[in-house]
A and B are shown apart, each in its own frame.
Chain A
Amino acid sequence: MLGEFTNSTLWQIALLAFGQAFLSVGLSLLIGIPIARVLFTYHFRGRGFILALVTVPFVLPTVVVALGFRSLFGDAIPNGLLLVVLAHAYINIAVVVRLVGAQWATLDPRMEVTAATLGANPFRVFTTITLPSLRNSIVLAASVVFIFSFSSLGIVVVLGDGSSTRTLEQVLLRSTSVLLDFPAAFAAAILQLVVVSLVFVISAQLSRDEPRATVVLERKQISGRKPIIFVTLTCLVAVIVVLSPIASILWSSISSSGGFTLQWWSDLANTSNIRIGSPIDALVRSLGLALGTAVISAILGGAIAIAVMSKKGFVVTLALIPLGISAVTLGLGILLAFSRGSLDLRGTGALIPITHALIAVPIVVAVATPSLRNVDPRRYFVALSLGAAPMRAWWTAFGTVFGGVMLAAGGLAAAVSLGEFGAATLLSRTDAPTVPVQIARLLGKPGESEFATAAVLSVILIIISMTLLLIVDRIASRKVFT
């Protein structure tokens, strides 16, 4: 297997992916930072709506985003590096806005005023005071975007040109599912893991060792002509950027070369398109897998959250490790682990929900642990002192919060499963694809009906994902949760 590391193609692909991820980081920061400034330092009507809107691309399945870009740009921008970088930036705006914005909200605006009174012009204030003060969150956001883009799969499969946009994740998938070249797959997985780990190490090195401000300051009202123009333009650009690909998918699902039509929606139930499988079957399958993933993740993640809720930070970090491993690598690991003897689950259909649960469990732990830690543990002892048995006392103290958290976390896990593409491509049987796999297959075929059917499935996925997230958001904003 070591010989695989002397394969120059592998290194070439790693280098290409590195360059692509670097460009994706640059564009994400360029778009995300002004939006973070507007949404986290100014107070205005509609702010919450725009913040929710810029989060949407991050929760959309990657193949749906890819379809949106293909549909939006048509032949204007051919498949290739530019389209891949644009799509990555689109998905990751939310990462930059949320991470950088959260730190921006704690920066005292008088710091910038002080710099200005010392003679610094606005550009100098921004480059010498504002940006360096945001350094830790910018480094973190850049690392996350880099890792997502470096190990991208759905976007590069649909929007890539097959040469300049290749990623190690693609090599991994192709080696395992087409070429059956496992040494090559392991080499790609290990190289990818090394790069991801290096990014984490470099990110930690670049982060500044200084006390972290945690007090969120009151956002300022917009006054003056320049701030009004800046805020209005930034919000307008954010809304247009986020909605354009989604609107484009919607339009593709209700139009044909002859104009408006609902034919693609009414044809959905037809199984005539049997060569790539029935879309309805794929939808039912995906929903079943999402439900399975939600149940497994909530049980496993809930148990881990209870176990680590009173432990130190690094124990929680251990539970979060799978977040740094790509979906295809996890899928490959599960495939190998459950393909022998009595543990052979390949024919049972359980491999996908197990892999999706492995992806989702860290998210469940990350969501549940802080909420459980927020509950005053003295409630438990009060219940015990009133004569409740330990289990009943625990449930009295933590039960309401735990129930809410598990519902929310299960919803998140289901959303992750619905949109996941890499592991599902590896583990799906040819005749039993999930919806994202089905969409990618449809996009790989020429023809108007294939493209439109992919658009219809994408619209359905968008609606289900957004509904799940709205429910999660509603549960999360309930008082008992905080």
Chain B
Amino acid sequence: MLESDRRWGRWFVWSLAGLVLASLFAAIVLGPITVPFRDAVISLVAPQDESLSAVHRVIVRQIRAPRALLGLLVGSALAVSGVAMQGLFRNPLASPYVLGVASGASTGAALAILFASGTALFLPIGAFAGAAAAVLIVYSLARGRDRRTSIFTLILAGVAVGALFSAVTSFLIFLSSGGERLSDVLFWIMGGLGRASWNSVSILAPIALLGITAVLFAARDLNALSLGEEGAYHVGVNPDALYRWLLGVTTVLTATAVAMAGTIGFIGLVIPHVMRLLVGPDHRRLIPASALAGGCFLVWADIGARTVLAPAELPVGVITAFLGAPFFLYLLKTRGARL
């Protein structure tokens, strides 16, 4: 990619930031019921205004605003985790779920839905605990006797532990013998923003902001790591410390996002690739670009999920794959060598 492309990349990041605001507003206006533009603005800035319809106010303030924000946060968190994982593993197939976060979270969520369905709080807690357990198992397996972590073992252990947790989840689904709880589990596994509330936004927002900042903190070190572990060391970056930092941060970031919205696929894998093609591989620009683009993408995917078959709601993971996969294939075909 040429120097001139890179300069264009800086403007691109700023225009993405503008796009985020527009997308959030679109997510508030669009849905099975279209809220008129004027009502949407009034609901946000002056909810006490008497000309405002009560229905529109509730839809905007209680339903769509938290849902849009949660979509933005989850999309950003997954995309940034994906950038970190691809940079860490120097492997284009790495995603936030490579260490078994998704399978662990699914098992935890299935347990919570099937055996403790009384309280809504148990679902995110169960999902987070499952995700954390999976990563801890993977990490302790991959940590050799010399206390150095082998990236290769990490990936293999992630695959194996992921398979194990998936088997447990399948077994739990089998035990549940159908019914409403089964569809709850399946819907959660496919991922969606239907459980969004101001509570979930207020939990995820600080974690997502801190986590993304923490990954950004390591941006330059991730650049150095593309020279290999020893190459990074020779420019003064300690690769082991970088691994510990980023594995910890991305686990918390991904697990929290998954706990709020289920295992939404595809964003963490593809958004980083697409952004790398658009703004280049420098992580100092790639991380903010991916955060904004991942957020935007999920917000629009959710608008699609809510409207395409309204009043029925599609799992948002179906939309992310339907929109993203062809675009990714197009990029692969036209600019594949640069991935």
Do A and B come together as binding partners? no
Residues of chain B touching chain A, judged by Cβ–Cβ distance below 8 Å, are none
